[in-house]
Amino acid sequence: MKPVRVGLLGLGTVGGGTVTVLSRNSEEIARRAGRRIMLSHVAARNLERADELNLTNVRLTEDAFAVTNDPEVDVVVELMGGYEPARTVILKAIENGKHVVTANKALIALHGNEVFAAAQGKGVMVAFEAAVAGGIPVIKAVREGLSGNRIEWVAGIINGTGNFILSEMREKRRGFADVLAEAQRLGYAEADPTFDVEGVDAAHKLTILAATAFGIPLQFERVYTEGISQIAEEDISHAEELGYRIKHLGIARRTADGVELRVHPALIPYRRLIANVDGVMNAVLIKGDAVGPTLYYGAGAGAEPTASAVVADLVDVVRTLTSDPENRVPHLAFQPDALTDLRVLPMEEVKTAYYLRLQAADRPGVLADVASILGDRGISIEAVVQKEPLPDVQFVPLILLTHRVSERQMNEAIARIEDLESITGSVKRIRVEHLNA
């Protein structure tokens, strides 16, 4: 049978890994796909990389459109990253009737609705397993393995850089800036780490997970996003004392009032499996009504782990090349005409428990004043830790854990507490997620 000819766009970390995996495992891949998958075209800004990868019998170019417009190419694999020209290139490939595989989470999160509509119109596939959690096949799990379930919630550590930083801060009692500098030296963080440490990368991935879990349109702009740059060593220590660990989570939860879409640091009970995922590893916990909680763990980035997902998508595309487009697995798990635009809750309506750290004057009555403000807003206190004062120190840390309450109620309470003469500085607030099954 005629081999499937693949045009690869990008020879960076993931592109190089994809070349390696396709070459090393070519026989096994062909046995799984039913046809040989042949890398025939490559477009890259740095073609010297092609020599390093020993690419022979491959048509090389610096022009991505030369690949998407070539009638000999059956499938386009987009590994350039970024919004443009990736969006235009993918849409051109679709217009030309080519199937697409991409690892571009930013593109799918922001422009996926447009891309999938175009693909639907042309009867081609757009596969994007590698866009979420690297080598972990979590999109396939949600889209196919859990298709008999009503997904109730998804919670994931879906950015390895942020997880590495929090893990190092906890294990070695180091500050955020120090660990971030090390992450940059090791290549885990970019020179500009904003997307990783401020939660943008995780929000891209959560957007995609939520769409496939709940059958809603992709809506990145509605994800509440908060980073980890304000997490202090002392917060990590206090959390440990209380039986929790701090993780940077992406959470999508279906409620009676709508869907929660949020990325932020959270305290998790240390006995939860996901609380023990450290370093650059990723993990996604998914709760279905029939199956219960399921956990997916593995490498969330890297050349070959991500290439594993890219090649798996290629195999899926090849397997379905001759099938009726109407009978393929839908891009976002649900049939396109069955997506529902469920209301996304504003953060003020979301209910969670809270960890609060205050700098309180070391004198009687302060805790009572704080408890009164919380009580007036229906906020119950679960635990209190008051640190012993150091000599000649006027203010001491006061740590509170609360029961679940709306963000609006907590915002009002924090504003009142910060107005107290006995409290100095701002109140540090971190949400608490028990992730009960």
Cα separation, 386 vs 400, whole angstroms: 9
Residue 86 to residue 109: CA distance in whole angstroms: 13
At residue 337, the pLDDT reads: 76
Residue where the block lists tokens 């109140």: 427
* 207 band by pLDDT with thresholds 50, 70 and 90: very high
CA pair distance 11, 48, nearest whole angstrom: 10
Q: What percent of the chain has pLDDT over 70?
A: 97
Domain boundaries, the chain: 4-135+303-338, 140-299, 350-432
Judge whether residue 387 has pLDDT over 80.
no
- Average pLDDT (205-216) is 96
What contacts 262, CB < 8 A, 6 or more positions away? Answer: 206, 223, 224, 225, 226, 250, 251, 347, 350
Please, what is the average pLDDT of the chain?
A: 93
Q: pLDDT category, 333, cuts 50, 70, 90?
A: low
pLDDT one-digit tens code per residue, 135-165? 999 999 999 999 999 999 999 999 999 999 9
Which residues make beta-bridge pairs with 28? none
Region 373-395 average pLDDT: 86
Residue 342 pLDDT exceeds 60: yes
State how far the Cα of 429 lies from the Cα of 411, in Å rounded to an integer: 10
For residue range 104-140, list pLDDT tens digits in order. 999 999 999 999 999 999 999 999 999 999 999 999 9
3-state SS of the chain is CCCEEEEEECCCHHHHHHHHHHHHCHHHHHHHHCCCEEEEEEECCCCHHHHHCCCCCCEEECCHHHHHCCCCCCEEEECCCCCCCHHHHHHHHHHCCCEEEECCHHHHHHHHHHHHHHHHHHCCCEECHHHCCCCCCHHHHHHHHCCCCCEEEEEEECCHHHHHHHHHHHHHCCCHHHHHHHHHHCCCCCCCCHHHHCCHHHHHHHHHHHHHHHCCCCCHHHCEECCCCCCCHHHHHHHHHCCEEEEEEEEEEEECCEEEEEEEEEEEECCCHHHHCCCCEEEEEEEECCCEEEEEEEECCCHHHHHHHHHHHHHHHHHCCCCCHHHCCCCCCCCHHHCCCCCECCHHHCEEEEEEEEEEECCCCHHHHHHHHHHHCCCCEEEEEECCCCCCCCEEEEEEEECCEEHHHHHHHHHHHHCCCCEEEEEEEEEECCCCC
Structural tokens at position 72: 């000999």
Predicted confidence band of residue 400 (pLDDT cuts 50, 70, 90) = very high
pLDDT of residue 394: 82
CATH class assigned to 4-135+303-338: alpha beta
Structure confidence by residue, pLDDT tens digits, 264-302? 999 999 999 999 999 999 999 999 999 999 999 999 888
**Angle value at C-alpha 183, between 47 and 177, nearest 5 degrees:** 135
| Confidence category of residue 329, pLDDT binned at 50, 70, 90 | confident
Fold classified for 140-299: Dihydrodipicolinate Reductase; domain 2 (3.30.360)
Peptide bond into 330 cis (omega under 30): no
CA distance 140 to 42: 27
- pLDDT, residue 4, reads 95
The string of pLDDT tens digits covering residues 15-32 is 999 999 999 999 999 999
Confidence of residue 431 (pLDDT cuts 50, 70, 90): very high
Catalytic residue ranges: 205
Q: How far apart are CA 430 and CA 353, in angstroms?
A: 9
Is the pLDDT reported for residue 79 higher than 60?
yes
Which tokens go with 249?
């989570």
pLDDT higher than threshold 60 for residue 437: no
Query: Which two structure tokens, joined as six digits, stand for 38?
Result: 């042949």
What's the predicted TM-score (pTM) here?
A: 0.93
Q: What is the pLDDT of residue 131?
A: 95
Instruction: Report the percentage of the chain scoring pLDDT > 90.
Output: 84
22-70 tens-digit pLDDT? 999 999 999 999 899 999 999 998 888 888 888 888 999 999 999 999 9
Query: Locate tokens 């979420």: which residue?
Result: 132
Per-residue pLDDT tens digits for 218-230: 999 999 999 999 9
For domain 350-432, give the CATH superfamily: ACT domain (3.30.70.260)
**Band of residue 217 on the pLDDT scale cut at 50, 70, 90:** very high
